[in-house]
Structure 1
């Protein structure tokens, strides 16, 4: 890592939908840089396809860290964390226009991060139609302009290379090796000229000299095109589109060269985050890993300064620095600005923290959409499970753990079935677990008023127990809660016993005749009787509980189920399917509208019983090419039905 160029170490995040070939591109890029791919787990449990891969290499003298992010939409927060520290993103997409919508979350994530990006159209060897159709389909889901830099070179039905629109040079692919320059294919003259003219016109809006050349019908040279393209990329207004087939190493070196020219250095990226160039060492944590024998590792991007093993960062002593040449963890003595390294023994540091200076913004985890209740098979493992869950959430902030007092369950929440399955597999390496659908916190109330009398009279030798109460139990408006009213007059019950009656009435409402907490009722103490010797707080509390329980059973009890306000976000083509899905789950559709600043997407709003939400995300994604998601919040309680699974 000593061959650091004038740019300093840079970082690129590879993101894109599942199946687009990111991992193949990651491996091919390392191979093109002369770096064999090595995968080390540092003793930690690894679930394939669910974690970020980190590798360092150099290409033409420039030092790079590549971050290979998982493609599942359920693991999108990993990509968001990577983008927060990267200089440039490579959005890997498939060539098939029918699968363009799959790239929408990645395109949006890059736009929201404000990071320069290159779009790599992978699996080009499988493209059947014109490349312009693929780019047009992607453009429907992007706010930035997507500018095609290359056109495929076809011989018959087979794609054998590409022509670069800026340099107008042709390159023939060689399977598993670097492309070779080739004579310009004359059959492509017309198509290449048309595509180059379209690129020039798209860039002319941002460059007066280029616009002048077009107006005067002069053919712009490579510099005249590259200058505004680079400016548009740097400003986050456009992304260049490159072509290739990673499985065959096609287009990989061209991608490397585009990254060399288009990626800002760490000083520019740090400035975009508001970090001043001068000052002590400053780093940001973007990943936390429990790495077996290596202990707890905090992966950081060093924004400025340098750091030595044993030194201090943010008031904490660093206990080890690791680099990742080819993906293999290797201990080192020092790190410099721009590098991505893992730091040991930073126990009080969390993902997203800034160490050594001013706080830097970091993406917040998305709200959970799927949950499972978990418990150890052996009760002796409960303490062990609690510790393991705490470490799990440290590693993945998009997971949350709730201890639900009403049901007594430990509930793990995340982004979907795959997300939670990976988390539970990791937990299961040390603890045998059972999982089930979480219980819904039903309530109950009453629909009519009841008057009830109860008397407690017990004689057990010495002082006995005596209390006589008459109550009225009546329904209250929804959301009004529990109320106790004292209407005792004439000393029918001594004042000193009234508080015990109120506490007992509220306690009795914690479990109604249908087995759930009772809400929105008023218990009024209207009459009673006492004994000068045998009455006590305990006696009146017991009598009141008896009266309330008997009254609730007679007062036409009814189950109340929580109803959630649900907002489903789906590609517009799937809006009718989302409406049918929500309606089929007893949902009341409130309407739908376009999602602001999100081309081609709608949001559907509905009121849906909470009991219907458990696997909603699974079916919603199943009907929307895996793209749909939703958010929800409690809205109200409504008369409903018990449904726990």
Structure 2
């Protein structure tokens, strides 16, 4: 029996769950509790990672004989690209949220990410022990306002002395009291819960009846459905993404964790169903998809993959490269393997030419599977080494960081002489800079990127220049009269020749045009000059001493004086900005834009995002550097924006 076959001797292929939710929801605590309940230790994480919610963690375990992979996705919105990558290879998304209705808006981006991934989901309402006198139906209503899928309760809470101490399962109609570190205690359903339980069970039955004719008939006839009547459509609807079941608990106390495990075991589709939904036929050569890349120092490059079909062996060829080792997740107690089977999440070594998102097969002919594109950058820093001899190392290290995290990008700004690192916010880039020091031994300084200012002229000006130099042999002579005139914004540079009568021979005129354009590289105010026409009106030459070089020199002299006389003005880039915020943050976003010299163009509700608005404005690029930081501060970390260059405009003070 092969290694992978022995691992799956129980018959079930490994299933993968992505735990996704906003920061402070207790998602990582639930991840640890699920592993502990299955008898597995969670992978280690350092204090900085724990506090900032920046790291994607994977844990392997077995529950009641079934193998599982749990993916703990970062809670910080600045690391949403890692979450999207995890959703691309998961069988189900487990949404973790707080029981507080006021925090429900933070789930809107989470629900949208799951919809984009076309993934089944379940919801775990955490920290219900702190629910107090609030009703779980209020939490459900607040969550439903941000989800396009129906959310249906699987449980209702039991309260004793004002505290939530257990739950009633709506399918089995059994009541349980939580016991920390032990299975829940089966109890008699409290009398004050019966009415709420009946109401919630009826709502569950009605939601399930929308897709099940047999159950619909019972609902119409007011017949009480059996547990089997509910289990069957509930399982089918979750797998189809028709609705999301909602369970309750308190992960820190391990309340509801075992019940959650049993629901996951029953309702999470297997990898074969997920592969079919992604268009992968059940037969054929092995297929795997890379969802994460890690540069593990001396261990080399690791490509983390989900295997969708077939078995992958160490040393086998994948897309023209030979696998150099199989690791069952390189975190904590990593273990090496010789083979991995369909459904497994493993790391493949030494696939140096393979990038994140790639679809792998032995022949290299597998059709590429969809993979989420990284979000557009919203924050940038110019980075430079403290020691110039490290510049080459910095370039290589930044390339590796961008390969590990596609939401980072590196831009060489030749005009400004800067290397720009762009990403999703100050925490995101701060994490990247820390990685440069920790993983690559590079200390760097960071500064605000320079703005690509331009300049133009307000009115026309003419200048005559003569260049004459006498040396021992042939001298230099050229005489030009140039006029500079402004053009409409965005029309660029133009050169016109109005010489008549041969005042300047035709052979020298191209040199004048080239020198005039070259003179626009740096204007009187120190910036490149745009949107002007340069006209050659008159000139003179010498039959022996004139040359291209002489006319180029005279042209530069004339340009320098003409531009200075034409009332030069600085232009700054202005971007078209679209801000996405919850509707209660719309007014604050508009004030923020106005304070940054923004011109508000309007706002409207975001399509397919109930409760969210898009605010459009024209904003100078100089005002956008830390916009995302203040925007998130004003919107509980939820606001974001996209931008594109729109036009150049005269720079004006705040």
Report the TM-score when normalising by structure 1: 0.97
Contact 1:151 1:165 in 2 (8 A): yes
User: Which one of the candidate residues 399, 402, 419 is aligned to 2:411?
Assistant: 402
Residues 70-149 of structure 1 correspond to what in structure 2 (within 5 A)?
Answer: 70-128=74-132, 129-149=134-154
Specify the SS of the correspondent of 1:526. Answer: strand
> How far 1:47 moved relative to its partner?
9.3
Contact 1:282 1:313 in 2 (8 A): no
Distance 2:41 2:305 in 1: 23
> How far 1:493 moved relative to its partner?
1.4
> How far 1:35 moved relative to its partner?
0.8
> How far 1:38 moved relative to its partner?
3.4
Contact 1:571 1:624 in 2 (8 A): yes
User: Is 1:412 equivalent to 2:416 in the alignment?
Assistant: no
Aligned to 2:25: 20
Contact 1:281 1:307 in 2 (8 A): yes
> How far 1:186 moved relative to its partner?
2.3
320-329 or 620-629, larger mean C-alpha shift: 320-329
User: Which one of the candidate residues 594, 597, 602 is aligned to 1:586?
Assistant: 597
> How far 1:40 moved relative to its partner?
7.7
119-128 or 634-643, larger mean C-alpha shift: 634-643
> How far 1:362 moved relative to its partner?
0.5
Contact 1:309 1:321 in 2 (8 A): yes
Contact 2:465 2:479 in 1 (8 A): yes
> How far 1:187 moved relative to its partner?
2.4
* Alpha carbons of structure 1 residues 106 and 46: separation in structure 2 relative to 1, 3 Å: closer
Aligned to 2:373: 364
User: Which one of the candidate residues 518, 522, 527 is aligned to 1:511?
Assistant: 522
Contact 2:43 2:57 in 1 (8 A): no
User: Which one of the candidate residues 368, 372, 383 is aligned to 2:392?
Assistant: 383
Residues 63-462 of structure 1 correspond to what in structure 2 (within 5 A)?
Answer: 63-128=67-132, 129-324=134-329, 327-356=332-361, 357-429=366-438, 430-462=441-473
Aligned to 1:496: 507
User: Which one of the candidate residues 475, 479, 484 is aligned to 2:495?
Assistant: 484
Specify the SS of the correspondent of 1:298. Answer: strand
Q: Deviations over 1:273-332 (max 9, x none)?
A: 111110111100000001122111000000000011111122221000001398532111
Residues 465-484 of structure 1 correspond to what in structure 2 (within 5 A)?
Answer: 465-484=476-495
Structure 1, unaligned runs of 5 or more? none
User: Is 1:623 equivalent to 2:634 in the alignment?
Assistant: yes
Distance 1:173 1:302 in 2: 37
Distance 2:50 2:477 in 1: 66
146-155 or 168-177, larger mean C-alpha shift: 168-177
Specify the SS of the correspondent of 1:428. Answer: helix
Contact 2:146 2:611 in 1 (8 A): yes
Contact 2:23 2:53 in 1 (8 A): no
Specify the SS of the correspondent of 1:490. Answer: coil
> How far 1:456 moved relative to its partner?
1.1
Identify which of structures 1 and 2 has the higher relative contact order when contacts are C-alpha pairs closer than 8 Å and 6+ apart. 1
* Alpha carbons of structure 1 residues 13 and 617: separation in structure 2 relative to 1, 3 Å: same
Q: Deviations over 1:531-576 (max 9, x none)?
A: 2222221111111011011101110111111111111111112111
Distance 2:565 2:7 in 1: 83
> How far 1:107 moved relative to its partner?
1.2
Contact 1:47 1:426 in 2 (8 A): no
Distance 2:336 2:621 in 1: 50
Distance 1:361 1:327 in 2: 30
* Alpha carbons of structure 1 residues 395 and 354: separation in structure 2 relative to 1, 3 Å: same
* Alpha carbons of structure 1 residues 3 and 318: separation in structure 2 relative to 1, 3 Å: closer
Contact 1:172 1:180 in 2 (8 A): yes
Q: Deviations over 1:189-239 (max 9, x none)?
A: 111111111211222222222222222222111111122222221221210
Report the TM-score when normalising by structure 2: 0.96
Specify the SS of the correspondent of 1:627. Answer: coil
> How far 1:467 moved relative to its partner?
1.2
* Alpha carbons of structure 1 residues 326 and 10: separation in structure 2 relative to 1, 3 Å: farther
> How far 1:176 moved relative to its partner?
3.0
* Alpha carbons of structure 1 residues 25 and 462: separation in structure 2 relative to 1, 3 Å: same
Specify the SS of the correspondent of 1:278. Answer: coil
User: Which one of the candidate residues 574, 577, 590 is aligned to 2:585?
Assistant: 574
Specify the SS of the correspondent of 1:614. Answer: coil
Aligned to 1:31: 36
Distance 2:445 2:13 in 1: 49
161-170 or 525-534, larger mean C-alpha shift: 525-534
Contact 1:3 1:62 in 2 (8 A): no
RMSD: 1.6
Contact 1:56 1:327 in 2 (8 A): no
Distance 2:50 2:29 in 1: 19
User: Is 1:7 equivalent to 2:12 in the alignment?
Assistant: yes
Distance 1:227 1:40 in 2: 39
Contact 2:575 2:647 in 1 (8 A): yes
Distance 1:481 1:36 in 2: 63
Distance 1:325 1:420 in 2: 24
Distance 1:382 1:488 in 2: 51
Distance 1:417 1:38 in 2: 26
Specify the SS of the correspondent of 1:84. Answer: helix
Distance 1:486 1:324 in 2: 69
* Alpha carbons of structure 1 residues 642 and 403: separation in structure 2 relative to 1, 3 Å: farther
Distance 2:55 2:193 in 1: 42
Distance 1:480 1:500 in 2: 22
Distance 1:346 1:84 in 2: 20
Aligned pair count reads: 640
* Alpha carbons of structure 1 residues 606 and 504: separation in structure 2 relative to 1, 3 Å: same
Contact 2:43 2:58 in 1 (8 A): no
Aligned to 1:51: 55
* Alpha carbons of structure 1 residues 325 and 31: separation in structure 2 relative to 1, 3 Å: farther
Structure 2, unaligned runs of 5 or more? none
Q: Deviations over 1:487-543 (max 9, x none)?
A: 112121122211111111001011111111100000011111112222221111111
Distance 1:133 1:40 in 2: 35
